[in-house]
């Protein structure tokens, strides 16, 4: 039993990116486009999307595949640290690429031309350099322009080197916005949230590994709850499978899922729990805050995660069991959710009459729904309808 318990932790990994191709689900299109960039001289790529959608996992899998062709490709992945300057980052890259502890040049010599010349001299075949977590950099004001110049010179000299820049959307877009001259050299690959099929595949692959099964309706429930964010699928599948393994049962049932939901709430990030309880706080027993917030979490949102006040009417009507035809009954709560006193759990965009709301933290809505299940404001059957 202990062994299978441990094994499930290898298969479902809510807090670690995938680096085993067998456990990697979907993302065929994005992977193909990355290969497109790698195969074309002078092309580089930028991979961007929300936190937690699977950027690092995709980068790892690309690296994994390339490592099967060591003769032709040198490939490395480096992470940016908040404190890194442009030259420090490239120093790390050269240490990795040249597989050494010391380099025969000084950090201050590093600039875009230096990088290109050095790479051309050191690398005989092709190389793929993945720079992850670009959005974490916040120290070096010249970073984006230096990086843009590097891409430009690598591209202009038609080198066999491919840079893949990975990061959270807005920050990475800046790189292109400020430097239109490199747009042609950069393939922009957006990582959307995962589709239902892709999320289902994560569970299916994992269960197969563990020789376990789960009813289709429960798989659908997990997929629905996760709202396109794979880490929630991993989290719920991990807890549910471990709960079944504890009972020595190989078919995961609804009890196991219920326990998983409870466990997921108990183990959520403290910042998420704190913001949630601040946002729904009330001194009165019966308040509408939790239901309005849950309705917001359930609302169908656009690609940027935004929704309108009128969209909240339908899910809220179902939760309260009373038909809302206007937004007047809950407008005040929506606005309060955007205030410091309620944890800024939502943010408001746009102009009056056309306001749009959005959860400040994309990881919040799935937590709210799971918490709603735990406290019984909603149940699994209601969710599925
Ligand atoms: N294609 C995938 N198949 C299976 N699990 C995935 C996939 N992509 C991401 N995950 C899982 O989702 C979570 C977040 O992935 P990660 O790559 O760290 O996202 P990001 O780098 O975008 O923040 C991790 O638990 C990871 O295991
Ligand atoms: Mg990442």
CATH number for position 243: 1.10.8
Q: Residue 348: give its domain's CATH number.
A: 1.10.10
Supply the pLDDT for residue 243.
Answer: 97
- Ligand 2 centroid – CA 32 distance (Å): 19
- Ligand 2 centroid – CA 321 distance (Å): 41
Do 332 and 280 sit in the same domain of this protein? yes
Tell me which residues have their CB closer than 6 angstroms to ligand 1. Answer: 13-14, 16-18, 23-27, 51-57, 202, 230-231, 234
Report which protein residue has its CA nearest ligand 1's atom 15. Answer: 54
51 found inside a domain:
yes
Q: Which two tokens stand for residue 378?
A: 């909603």
- Ligand 1 centroid – CA 55 distance (Å): 7
141 found inside a domain:
yes
Which one of 189, 230, 234, 237 would you pick to mutate in the ligand 1 pocket, going by the greatest count of ligand atoms within 8 A of its CB? 230
Do 33 and 173 sit in the same domain of this protein? yes
Report which protein residue has its CA nearest ligand 1's atom 8. Answer: 54
- Ligand 1 centroid – CA 20 distance (Å): 11
Report which protein residue has its CA nearest ligand 1's atom 23. Answer: 52
Report which protein residue has its CA nearest ligand 1's atom 19. Answer: 54
Domain carrying residue 48: 27-191
70 found inside a domain:
yes
DSSP output for 254-295: HHHHHHHHHHHHHTS-HHHHHHHHHHH--SSSS-SHHHHHHH
Do 76 and 220 sit in the same domain of this protein? no
Residues across the chain: 385
> Where is the domain boundary, 191, 207, 242?
191
Do 313 and 174 sit in the same domain of this protein? no
State how many domains the chain has.
3
Q: Residue 168: give its domain's CATH number.
A: 3.40.50.300
107 found inside a domain:
yes
Residue 236 CA: which ligand is closest?
1
Do 171 and 226 sit in the same domain of this protein? no
How many CA atoms, within 13 angstroms, populate the side-chain half-sphere of residue 11? Answer: 25
C-alpha dist (Å) from residue 88 to 35, 80, 109, 117, 169 = 28, 10, 11, 18, 23
Supply the pLDDT for residue 26.
Answer: 94
- Ligand 1 centroid – CA 318 distance (Å): 33
> Where is the domain boundary, 157, 191, 225?
191
21 found inside a domain:
no
Q: In angstroms, rounded to a whole number, what is the distance separating the alpha carbons of residues 234 and 116?
A: 41
Report which protein residue has its CA nearest ligand 1's atom 7. Answer: 54
Do 150 and 217 sit in the same domain of this protein? no
* Digitized pLDDT (tens) for each residue of the chain, 385 residues in all: 889 999 999 999 999 999 889 999 999 999 999 999 999 999 999 999 888 999 999 999 999 999 999 888 899 999 998 888 999 999 999 999 999 999 999 999 999 999 999 999 999 889 999 999 988 887 778 888 899 899 999 999 989 999 999 988 766 666 666 666 777 888 999 999 999 999 999 999 999 999 999 999 999 999 999 999 999 999 999 999 999 999 999 999 999 999 999 999 998 889 999 999 999 998 887 789 999 999 999 999 887 789 999 999 999 999 999 999 999 999 999 999 999 999 999 999 988 778 999 999 988 999 999 999 999 999 888 887 7
Do 245 and 360 sit in the same domain of this protein? no
- Ligand 1 centroid – CA 153 distance (Å): 32
Q: In angstroms, rounded to a whole number, what is the distance separating the alpha carbons of residues 63 and 68?
A: 9
Do 223 and 303 sit in the same domain of this protein? no
Q: Which long-range contacts (CB under 8 A, 24 or more apart) does 236-241 make?
A: 236/260, 236/261, 236/264, 236/370, 237/12, 237/202, 237/203, 237/206, 237/207, 238/8, 238/9, 238/12, 238/13, 238/14, 239/263, 239/264, 240/214, 241/8, 241/11, 241/12, 241/206, 241/207, 241/210, 241/212
- Ligand 1 centroid – CA 193 distance (Å): 10
Atom of ligand 1 nearest to the CA of 205: 4
39 found inside a domain:
yes
Do 209 and 132 sit in the same domain of this protein? no
Do 259 and 287 sit in the same domain of this protein? no
Report which protein residue has its CA nearest ligand 1's atom 25. Answer: 14
Supply the pLDDT for residue 173.
Answer: 66
Report which protein residue has its CA nearest ligand 1's atom 14. Answer: 52
- Ligand 1 centroid – CA 235 distance (Å): 11
Do 41 and 108 sit in the same domain of this protein? yes
164 found inside a domain:
yes
169 found inside a domain:
yes
Supply the pLDDT for residue 177.
Answer: 66
Supply the pLDDT for residue 170.
Answer: 65
> Where is the domain boundary, 172, 191, 210?
191
Do 59 and 158 sit in the same domain of this protein? yes
Which one of 11, 34, 54, 193 would you pick to mutate in the ligand 1 pocket, going by the greatest count of ligand atoms within 8 A of its CB? 54
Q: Are strands 251-252 and 213-214 parallel, antiparallel or unpaired?
A: parallel
Q: In angstroms, rounded to a whole number, what is the distance separating the alpha carbons of residues 244 and 257?
A: 9
């Amino acid at each position: 039993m202990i062994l299978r318990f441990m094994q499930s932790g290898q298969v479902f990994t809510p807090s670690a990116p995938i680096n085993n191709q067998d456990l990697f689900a979907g993302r065929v299109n994005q992977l193909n486009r990355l290969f497109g960039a790698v195969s074309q001289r002078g092309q580089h790529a930028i991979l961007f999307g929300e936190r937690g959608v699977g950027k690092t996992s995709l980068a790892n899998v690309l690296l994994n595949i390339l490592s099967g062709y060591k003769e032709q490709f040198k490939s490395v992945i480096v992470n940016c640290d908040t404190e890194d300057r442009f030259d420090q980052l490239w120093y790390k890259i050269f240490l990795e690429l040249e597989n050494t502890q010391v380099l025969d040049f000084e950090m201050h010599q590093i600039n875009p031309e230096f990088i290109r010349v050095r790479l051309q001299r050191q690398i005989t075949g092709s190389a793929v350099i993945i720079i992850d977590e670009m959005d974490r950099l916040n120290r070096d004001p010249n970073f984006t322009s230096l990086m843009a110049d590097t891409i430009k010179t690598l591209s202009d000299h038609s080198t066999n080197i491919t840079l893949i820049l990975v990061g959270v959307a807005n920050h990475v877009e800046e790189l292109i916005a400020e430097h239109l001259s490199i747009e042609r050299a950069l393939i922009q690959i957006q990582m959307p949230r995962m589709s239902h099929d892709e999320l289902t595949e994560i569970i299916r692959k994992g269960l197969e590994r563990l020789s376990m099964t789960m009813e289709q309706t429960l798989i659908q429930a997990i997929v629905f709850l996760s709202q396109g964010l794979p880490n929630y699928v991993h989290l719920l599948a991990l807890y549910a499978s471990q709960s079944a393994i504890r009972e020595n049962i190989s078919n995961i049932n609804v009890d196991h899922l219920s326990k998983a939901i409870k466990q997921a709430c108990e183990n959520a990030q403290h910042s998420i729990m704190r913001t949630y309880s601040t946002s729904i706080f009330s001194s009165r027993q019966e308040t509408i805050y939790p239901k309005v917030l849950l309705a917001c979490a359930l609302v169908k949102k656009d690609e940027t995660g935004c929704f309108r006040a009128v969209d909240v009417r339908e899910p809220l009507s179902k939760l309260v069991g009373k038909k809302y035809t206007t937004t007047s009954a809950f407008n005040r709560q929506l606005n309060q959710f955007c205030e410091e006193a309620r944890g800024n759990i939502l943010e408001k965009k746009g102009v009056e009459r056309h306001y749009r709301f959005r959860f400040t933290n994309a990881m919040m809505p799935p937590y709210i729904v799971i918490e709603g299940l735990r406290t019984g404001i909603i149940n699994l059957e209601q969710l599925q309808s």
